């Protein structure tokens, strides 16, 4: 695996051994980073990133490579955590790595690095969308989201998306959805005001 673009373009990153994680392809990482950059006016400076299901840390590292200020990686697998720590160390990335279940870590007092400007949700594809909604609500209730924060959710293309009506009641607006092969990326923005959910769908 290698960083796709930015100041670390071409640098190799370590993928965790075994099958506990699902590495995101270069193409998908490039699409996700482009969607986030576009939504932020091509400027990631001062952005604080949460990669809540880190795996190798590739998604968060792509955003750091493109100018994000710092990142927090959460990963429940100790093996994957070691891979993230090595990647962070070898790149000299401004990041911290926390081992644990995302819901448990974010329930603790004093969420490190919060409030976040970008939240990356790339959980196992079998994760029910209701569980992810609970996680987003937890972030919102804990004050861990900056105004205008972006939530990027990667899922299987045929899997159900997050419930836009429920998210709208919590102040989230759907701003982009893109299909890349057999995967999809949905982007939401936190405005803190209830609204109707509208998502621009962009196929591959």
Query: Taking 60 as the threshold, does the pLDDT of residue 74 lie above it?
Result: yes
Q: Could you tell me which residues come within 8 angstroms of residue 162 by beta carbon, excluding any fewer than 6 positions away?
A: 129, 132, 133, 136, 153, 186, 188
Task: Kindly tell me if the per-residue pLDDT of 203 is higher than 70.
Answer: no
- Write the burial class of residue 121 (CB in 10 Å: 0-12 exposed, 13-18 middle, 19+ buried): buried
Between residues 147 and 21, which one has the greater pLDDT? 147
pLDDT tens, position by position, 184-197 = 999 999 998 654 54
Q: Answer whether residue 20 shows pLDDT above 80.
A: no
Q: What is the mean pLDDT of residues 100-116?
A: 94
Assign 18 a pLDDT band (cuts: 50, 70, 90): low
Residues 105-117, mean pLDDT to the nearest whole number: 94
State yes or no: pLDDT of 19 exceeds 70. Answer: no
The C-alpha atoms of residue 27 and residue 24 are separated, in whole angstroms, by 8
What pLDDT score was predicted for residue 201?
A: 54
Nearest C-alpha neighbor of 176 from the set 194, 159, 193, 161: 161
The CA distances from residue 132 to 27, 40, 124, in Å, are 24, 23, 11
- Mean residue pLDDT of the chain comes to 91
Beta carbons within 10 angstroms of residue 191's beta carbon: 14
Query: How much of the chain, in percent, has pLDDT values that exceed 90?
Result: 83
**Structural domains of the chain ordered from first start:** 26-202 (3.40.50.150)
- Dihedral sign (CA 15, 21, 27, 33): negative
Q: What is the pLDDT of residue 198?
A: 47
Give the residue among 96, 21, 6 at the shortest CA–CA distance from 51: 96
Report residue 156: phi and psi, to 5°: -65, 145
**The pLDDT value given to residue 21:** 58
């Amino acid at each position: 695996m290698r960083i796709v673009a930015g100041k670390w373009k071409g640098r190799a990153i370590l993928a965790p051994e075994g099958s506990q994680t699902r590495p995101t392809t270069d193409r998908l990482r490039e699409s996700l980073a482009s969607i986030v950059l576009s939504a932020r006016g091509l400027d990631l400076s001062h952005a604080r990133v949460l990669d809540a299901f880190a795996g190798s840390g590739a998604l968060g590292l792509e955003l750091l490579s493109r100018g994000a200020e710092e990142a927090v990686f959460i990963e429940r697998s100790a093996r994957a955590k070691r891979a993230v720590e090595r990647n962070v160390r070898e790149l000299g990335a401004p990041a911290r790595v926390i081992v644990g279940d995302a819901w448990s870590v974010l329930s603790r007092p004093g969420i490190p690095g919060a409030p976040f400007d970008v939240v990356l949700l790339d959980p196992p594809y079998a994760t029910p969308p209701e569980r992810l909604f609970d996680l987003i609500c937890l972030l919102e209730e804990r004050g861990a989201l900056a105004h205008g924060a972006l939530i990027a959710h990667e899922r299987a293309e045929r899997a159900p998306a997050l419930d836009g009506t429920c998210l709208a009641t919590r102040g989230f607006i759907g701003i982009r959805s893109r299909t890349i092969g057999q995967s999809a990326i949905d982007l939401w923005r936190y405005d803190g005001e209830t609204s109707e959910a509208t998502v621009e769908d962009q196929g591959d």
